[in-house]
Structure 1
């Protein structure tokens, strides 16, 4: 299998699971061959990839031909064989660049979002006709793609789960975080993700308000996407009288170190396509409680290696109380989750599967 020149492409302004996966692909693939990355300047992904060799393109939703022309020139100059894009809003730019380029690279899209309507109009049929492969992050996503994209233009769909790796977090670092947040012997409930309503931090706060008598604190990790929502969370904390139980950390690159503080981690989104934070918690030996829909259904076996809840604060409170009262169950679920993460979601194994797809195009 000959080496191919790869380009990771993502102009998203955010820094969540999707963008971190872009960074993980780039950091891994560039050690195994030729791989470049194109990002939007001065956005969160750009800043996250400190000191990396990056190609900059500014998104222009009104005149997409401008970034597409710039990308086409870069493709030809760098002899790019495969463009791997991740953010759905980049689809027009990437496909147009392929058409405008002399190289005519293969295109693969990692699909992180669900698809809920038919893509049978002329524009979408043109787009998908020019995409060679779609990487679906779950079998649920694969089923949706094959249902909603017309068969005559539907690209080949390959399923590869996202992966995570176990980091060596020193106990000294964990202790420094405990000192920073004034944590001692409390039962720690964590939730990691962007501060926006869809991530469901409000559900965790409501659940903890039902457990005031217990020695529990909540650590909310993530950068703020919606200032009004953050203020509403802080007001809810006051209204429910749980100011002494809630800690907002803000943005941090040390997510794994923060997870080492947790007894349990919560995923409270209504329908997470995959749930990278789920396997990240598992590999850190943290017990997971996740909503019973979407990606978590393909990761967690309820009662075996984690718990699922119906996204009500009442059900979440019951699940937290169960683990609080039963340390043996909590540790058993955490250990089973860890073993599953190492076996099924280990980053190097999953990245190798995806890289083989890219190289084989």
Structure 2
């Protein structure tokens, strides 16, 4: 056990891949370091962090001085060496806390979101000069950072893929039992797992399902995740009614057992327009599920088209329907893609291997 003290910070009120990754960092890094964490007062993360001292901060905005002062006090009182943050909107609070603190800890950001514009103004110079390292979840993201942050203020960068755990394989009987609970019957089962918002593209699946139903294909689609926007969820449900798809498209809500769900699916989908990474996709691959993803963003570093999964044209539900139909009609291809995808995920996206690399990085910082 090293003496280095790490403070994991995520003040996001949501519960998606980014937030759950922070909880995994907290739990995994605490095996090698003295780790504490800070979450928002209204955070849904608390239940996912075990046996680690937690602090809560009421975050009113990205520029909350009171939140920065409270964080600075935690840094000094707990003798924090490294602050590791995940949500880009927390950057101003963390940087100000470093300035207010006596300790002046190193700041490491794991960046999950794409960068699309130059960061050369005074405000961004101030932020990035106070950050030690940006860990990028894809090579494409590291290239963006090198492009958009001027070299004289750019923190050190490195690419470290997110990882997924190997899950306990369900027996054929357990799968059948689970499918019975979900009323899948003998249908081809699709899963779309992730927070429900427009960016994630659940509407594309519903449009694709309309086309697939017109072809009389026996397919059911399960949309799993909690709604970020109640309005968007209602629009999706209305579209399902309008297309007469109530039997074919089922909203499951949030699940604490995504691995079980993935293993039950014939195909797991990733329909986001431009996902920075695609944690659900690698989790599905590790679980031995065949995957279809949009041909943009970090997914291009995960899925090799026709080799470890299929890619469809981003935003094009007609192409998505064609790719689903292809796997529906070709079981051999589906099984080959699932097997090759699982092998790639074991080699490149293994949770333990990736956290070993992260631990090594922190121990050398």
Q: Same fold (TM over 0.5)?
A: yes
Structure 1 segments unaligned to the other structure (5+ residues): none
Using the TM superposition, give the Cα deviation of residue 210 of structure 1 relative to its aligned residue in structure 2, in angstroms: 1.1
Give the secondary-structure state (helix, strand or coil) at the position aligned to 2:223: strand
In 2, are the aligned partners of 1:10 and 1:90 still within 8 Å (CA)? yes
Alignment match, 1:360: 364
Alignment match, 1:187: 188
Deviations 1:52-86 (A, max 9, x none): 53111111327521111111111111111100000
Match of 1:339 among 336, 340, 343: 343
Query: How many residues matched?
Result: 361
Q: Are positions 1:241 and 2:244 aligned together?
A: yes
Match of 1:263 among 250, 257, 266: 266
In 1, are the aligned partners of 2:191 and 2:262 still within 8 Å (CA)? yes
Say which is worse superposed, 234-243 or 82-91, in terms of deviation.
234-243
In 2, are the aligned partners of 1:108 and 1:358 still within 8 Å (CA)? no
Structure 2 segments unaligned to the other structure (5+ residues): none
Give distance in 1, aligned partners of 2:270 and 2:124: 32
Alignment match, 2:138: 138
Using the TM superposition, give the Cα deviation of residue 345 of structure 1 relative to its aligned residue in structure 2, in angstroms: 0.5
Give the secondary-structure state (helix, strand or coil) at the position aligned to 1:218: strand
- When the two chains are superposed, the root-mean-square deviation of aligned CA atoms in Å is 1.5
Deviations 1:234-271 (A, max 9, x none): 11111112111111100111111111121001111110
Alignment match, 1:31: 31
Alignment match, 1:57: 57
Deviations 1:293-347 (A, max 9, x none): 1001111111000110003111111111110111000000000000011111000
Give distance in 2, aligned partners of 1:89 and 1:38: 14
Using the TM superposition, give the Cα deviation of residue 162 of structure 1 relative to its aligned residue in structure 2, in angstroms: 0.4
Alignment match, 1:115: 115
TM-score, reference length from structure 1: 0.96
Give the secondary-structure state (helix, strand or coil) at the position aligned to 1:35: strand
In 1, are the aligned partners of 2:294 and 2:311 still within 8 Å (CA)? yes
Say which is worse superposed, 152-161 or 203-212, in terms of deviation.
203-212
Using the TM superposition, give the Cα deviation of residue 33 of structure 1 relative to its aligned residue in structure 2, in angstroms: 2.1
Match of 1:324 among 325, 328, 334: 328
Alignment match, 2:230: 227
Q: Indicate how the Cα distance of structure 1 residues 51 and 173 shifts in structure 2: closer, same or farther if over 3 A, else same.
A: farther
